[in-house]
């Protein structure tokens, strides 16, 4: 009977493969693991594009001094929202003087009807400076940055709002947003957009243009936002090469007005759709006195306090029935540290009956087969992967690598039916161009000393089993990498119900709403198989292809593990079969997951 089940599985598998080939059918993760697919960079495209200049109308300040600009939204709790904006003039040069943040009030007026603001909230304002001690580098001090938390919001409701200081008077035009639904197993955001490593080039502009037309209800921005530290006019002098112009400068200057330009560029989108950010390495931005991350920490309001985190470097929130955890890769992630303790507590508090979906995001990927940043954050994976796996995290998004890659379900570098789906979307279009080399391409395996993280240790490791056993790089696309393509784009996650979500990756070179997508599949949760359930279950998971190859078949039933071989000429005893499976597991080719 078991053999018969297997036959059916194989037949199903073959049918699916055919349907995928004909191009209409949308596969599901249930059919995984998929054979690895690589799409190389299309040489008819340019690998990158120039930065949008500061005098572009989309980047220039349009309002007079104390009127709000760079208006942005971020989720707080399911019934509250952060509204942020900037007033006053930033300064760059020598002898900059910080503005007084108490000189302008922070008010938001809002209500359910256009022009009728039944509620009013006030908040706080602050400024920050980016200072350098080196001759020729320019100091910067920001405009006044306002953050106001508005609350008492009803779910799935449109709110009209204005922000500013009514006493000056200097209030903004009216803006509108729609709240998400309350957490619940049947209420999901219409579309969650994913972007990473965006920058501010004409490619970034295409990405945002396409993303906007996809009409998301929430945006997750997985780090490396503006590339203010790569802007060509670094040094304020239009120098194309910073290290050539300032060979002795102890710190690389960042061009902070780029953040203001980016805030203006993003405003049409993020003043009506909340955007959730997490820090990337381009946000580090070192300055005098060892200060880092000043712009990231000051400009963005995030639900840190709301989620029990005491820092904007990591936090979590609910978006309907999706609990999202934003992890900090550039702050202590060790299992002995504060972030890990917070993460454990946060995971523990998640009620999967209320938020069935558990999504995590961080800037650098743990699973990545491109040469760029290959195994760069192995230390973080070693510290945190097990915890995320134990709590059954469904999807883990990252950026950092400037290309697209979707992994087969994987845990500890082993294909695993209950591992998370990892997706890299660092393909926003920044100035550093598309990543095109794979670690498995001849001559492209990064050498030791490469891919050193900007934070944390180096834990590069050689694989202990499989085709790359004993080696640092594979000689082909690794089995855990399902699909990779060197193109710019963005992703859209549409959660349909408590077990199905449609993931679509849109490429910049495709015309919007053309019937094409770069990558599309249903991500399917299997809570009965994978959740830490109450009844004791022992489940074996194997790479299906290996399984067939070895004619080994598994099934689980309650507490007993039964293993049979499809072809069993030796007529092995049950004990021998179990031993064989044990060995199979010890070789690291399968995985045993026990939950109680």
Ligand X SMILES: *[C@@H]1O[C@H](CO)[C@@H](O)[C@H](O)[C@H]1NC(C)=O
Q: Which of the residues are catalytic?
A: 373
Q: Is 546 in the site for ligand X (CB under 6 A)?
A: no
The only residue of 45, 354, 548, 592 in contact with ligand X, by rule CB under 6 A: 45
The interface partner of residue 516, options being Fe ion, ligand X, none and the CB cut-off 5 to 8 Å by kind, is none
Measured from the CB atom, the residue of 509 and 564 that comes closer to ligand X is 509
**Distance of alpha carbon 305 from alpha carbon 282, whole angstroms:** 24
The only residue of 294, 323, 352, 400 in contact with Fe ion, by rule CB under 5 A: 400
**Where in 525-584 is the site for Fe ion (CB under 5 A)?**
none
Token pair listed for 596 = 């109680």
Instruction: Give the binding range for ligand X (CB under 6 A) out of 6-14, 124-132, 153-161, 312-320.
Output: 124-132
**Distance of alpha carbon 100 from alpha carbon 95, whole angstroms:** 16
The interface partner of residue 131, options being Fe ion, ligand X, none and the CB cut-off 5 to 8 Å by kind, is ligand X
Place of tokens 């999967």: 352
Measured from the CB atom, the residue of 200 and 565 that comes closer to ligand X is 200
Burial class (CB in 10 A: 0-12, 13-18, 19+), 19: middle
**Where in 215-274 is the site for Fe ion (CB under 5 A)?**
224
Q: Is 500 in the site for ligand X (CB under 6 A)?
A: yes
Length of the chain measured in residues: 596
Strands 395-398 and 357-361, sheet pairing: parallel
Q: Is 111 in the site for ligand X (CB under 6 A)?
A: no
Q: Count residues contacting ligand X (CB under 6 A)? A: 42
Q: H or E stretch including 562?
A: strand 560-565
Place of tokens 């097990």: 386
Measured from the CB atom, the residue of 52 and 220 that comes closer to ligand X is 52
**Where in 456-485 is the site for ligand X (CB under 6 A)?**
457, 462, 464, 471-472
- Which of 310, 328, 326 is CA-nearest to residue 318? 326
Q: Is 402 in the site for Fe ion (CB under 5 A)?
A: no
Q: Is 212 in the site for ligand X (CB under 6 A)?
A: no
Give backbone dihedrals phi and psi of 222, rounded to 5 degrees, phi first. -90, 35
Q: Is 281 in the site for Fe ion (CB under 5 A)?
A: yes
Q: Computed from CA positions of residues 541, 543, 544, 548, in that sequence, does the dihedral angle turn out positive or negative?
A: negative
Measured from the CB atom, the residue of 60 and 237 that comes closer to ligand X is 60
**Distance of alpha carbon 532 from alpha carbon 542, whole angstroms:** 19
CB of 570 to ligand X, least distance (A): 28
Measured from the CB atom, the residue of 400 and 589 that comes closer to Fe ion is 400
String marking each residue 418-447 x if it binds Fe ion according to CB under 5 A: ------------------------------
Query: How far is the CA of 341 from the CAs of 331, 333, 345, 382, 595, in angstroms?
Result: 13, 9, 6, 16, 22
Q: H or E stretch including 423?
A: strand 421-425
**Where in 331-360 is the site for ligand X (CB under 6 A)?**
332, 334, 337
CB of 566 to ligand X, least distance (A): 26
**Distance of alpha carbon 279 from alpha carbon 283, whole angstroms:** 6
Measured from the CB atom, the residue of 68 and 216 that comes closer to ligand X is 68
- Which of 505, 507, 508, 510 is CA-nearest to residue 492? 505
Q: Give the list of residues 6+ apart from residue 81 with CB closer than 8 angstroms, or none.
A: 73, 74, 75, 149, 150, 151, 153, 159, 177, 179, 274
- Which of 322, 138, 294 is CA-nearest to residue 231? 138
**Strand segments (E) across 78-178:** 81-87, 91-93, 107-111, 119-122, 124-126, 129-130, 139-141, 144-150, 158-165, 170-171, 175-178
**Where in 80-99 is the site for Fe ion (CB under 5 A)?**
none
Measured from the CB atom, the residue of 291 and 572 that comes closer to ligand X is 291
Q: H or E stretch including 369?
A: none
The only residue of 280, 419, 456, 590 in contact with Fe ion, by rule CB under 5 A: 280
> Other CB atoms closer than 10 Å to residue 559's CB: what's the count?
9
Q: H or E stretch including 506?
A: strand 500-507
The interface partner of residue 280, options being Fe ion, ligand X, none and the CB cut-off 5 to 8 Å by kind, is Fe ion
Measured from the CB atom, the residue of 90 and 401 that comes closer to Fe ion is 401
Measured from the CB atom, the residue of 64 and 97 that comes closer to ligand X is 97
String marking each residue 367-406 x if it binds ligand X according to CB under 6 A: -------------------x--------------------
- Which of 161, 150, 173, 170 is CA-nearest to residue 104? 170
**Where in 408-427 is the site for ligand X (CB under 6 A)?**
412
The only residue of 17, 20, 58, 566 in contact with ligand X, by rule CB under 6 A: 58
3-state class of 491 per DSSP? strand
Q: Is 509 in the site for ligand X (CB under 6 A)?
A: yes
Q: What Rg, from alpha-carbon coordinates, does the chain have?
A: 25
Strands 218-221 and 275-277, sheet pairing: parallel
The only residue of 488, 503, 505, 542 in contact with ligand X, by rule CB under 6 A: 488
Q: Is 595 in the site for ligand X (CB under 6 A)?
A: no
The interface partner of residue 317, options being Fe ion, ligand X, none and the CB cut-off 5 to 8 Å by kind, is none
Q: Which residue number places its CB atom closest to Fe ion?
A: 400
Q: Is 64 in the site for ligand X (CB under 6 A)?
A: no
Q: Is 434 in the site for ligand X (CB under 6 A)?
A: yes
Contact 304, 247 (CB under 8 A): no
Measured from the CB atom, the residue of 443 and 569 that comes closer to ligand X is 443
- The site for ligand X (CB under 6 A) is made up of 45-46, 49, 57-58, 60, 62, 94-95, 97, 123-124, 131-133, 139, 149, 202-203, 264, 288, 332, 334, 337, 386, 412, 434, 457, 462, 464, 471-472, 487-488, 496-500, 508-509, 588
- The site for Fe ion (CB under 5 A) is made up of 224, 280-281, 400
């Amino acid at each position: 009977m078991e053999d018969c089940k297997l036959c059916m599985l194989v037949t199903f598998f073959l049918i699916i493969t055919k349907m995928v080939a004909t191009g209409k059918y949308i596969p599901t993760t249930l059919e995984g693991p998929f054979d690895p697919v690589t799409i190389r960079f299309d040489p008819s495209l340019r690998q990158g594009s120039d930065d949008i200049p500061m005098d572009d109308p989309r980047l220039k300040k349009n309002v007079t001094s104390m009127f709000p600009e760079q208006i942005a939204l971020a989720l707080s709790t399911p019934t509250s929202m952060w509204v942020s904006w900037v007033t006053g003039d930033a300064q760059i040069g020598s002898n900059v003087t910080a503005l007084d943040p108490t000189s302008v009030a922070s008010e938001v007026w809002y209500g359910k009807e256009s022009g009728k603001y039944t509620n009013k909230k006030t908040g706080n304002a602050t400024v920050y400076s980016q200072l350098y001690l080196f001759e020729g580098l320019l100091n910067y001090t920001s405009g006044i940055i306002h953050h106001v938390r508005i609350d008492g919001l009803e779910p799935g409701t449109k709110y009209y709002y204005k922000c500013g200081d009514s006493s000056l008077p200097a209030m903004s035009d009216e803006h509108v947003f729609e709240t998400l639904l309350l957490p619940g197993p049947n209420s999901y955001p219409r579309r969650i957009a994913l972007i990473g490593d965006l920058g501010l080039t004409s490619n970034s502009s295409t990405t945002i243009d396409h993303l906007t037309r996809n009409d998301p209800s929430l945006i997750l921005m997985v780090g490396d936002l503006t590339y203010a530290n790569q802007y060509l006019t670094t040094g304020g002098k239009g120098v194309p090469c910073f290290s050539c112009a300032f060979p002795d400068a102890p710190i690389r200057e960042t061009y902070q007005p780029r953040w203001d330009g980016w805030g203006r560029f993003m405003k049409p989108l993020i003043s009506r759709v909340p955007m959730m950010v997490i820090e990337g390495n381009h946000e580090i931005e070192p300055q005098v006195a060892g200060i880092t991350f000043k712009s990231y920490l000051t400009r963005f309001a995030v639900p840190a306090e709301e989620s029990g985190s005491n820092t904007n470097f990591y936090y979590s929130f609910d978006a309907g029935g999706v609990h999202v955890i934003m992890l900090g890769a550039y702050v202590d992630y060790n299992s002995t540290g504060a972030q890990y303790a917070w993460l454990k507590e946060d995971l523990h508090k998640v009620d999967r009956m209320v938020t069935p979906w558990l999504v995590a995001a961080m800037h650098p990927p743990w699973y990545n087969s491109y040469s760029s940043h290959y195994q760069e954050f192995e230390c973080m994976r070693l510290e945190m992967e097990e915890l995320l796996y134990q709590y059954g995290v469904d999807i883990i998004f990252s950026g950092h690598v400037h290309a697209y890659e979707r992994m087969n379900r994987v845990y500890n570098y082993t294909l695993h039916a209950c591992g998370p789906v990892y997706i890299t979307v660092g393909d926003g279009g920044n100035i550093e161009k598309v990543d095109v080399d794979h670690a498995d391409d001849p001559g492209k395996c990064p050498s030791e000393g490469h891919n050193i993280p900007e934070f944390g240790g180096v834990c590069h490791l050689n694989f202990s089993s499989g085709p790359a056993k004993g080696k640092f790089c594979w000689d082909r696309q690794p089995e855990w990498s399902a699909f990779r393509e060197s193109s710019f784009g963005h992703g859209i996650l549409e959660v349909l119900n408590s077990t199905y979500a449609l993931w679509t990756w849109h490429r910049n070179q495709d015309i919007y709403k053309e019937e094409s997508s770069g990558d599309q599949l249903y991500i399917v949760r299997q809570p009965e198989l994978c959740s830490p359930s109450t009844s004791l279950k022992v489940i074996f998971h194997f790479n299906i292809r290996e399984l067939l190859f070895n004619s080994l078949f598994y099934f689980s039933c309650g507490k007993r593990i039964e293993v049979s071989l499809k072809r069993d000429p030796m007529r092995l005893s049950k004990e021998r079969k179990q031993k064989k499976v044990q060995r199979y597991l010890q070789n690291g080719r399968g995985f045993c997951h026990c939950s109680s």
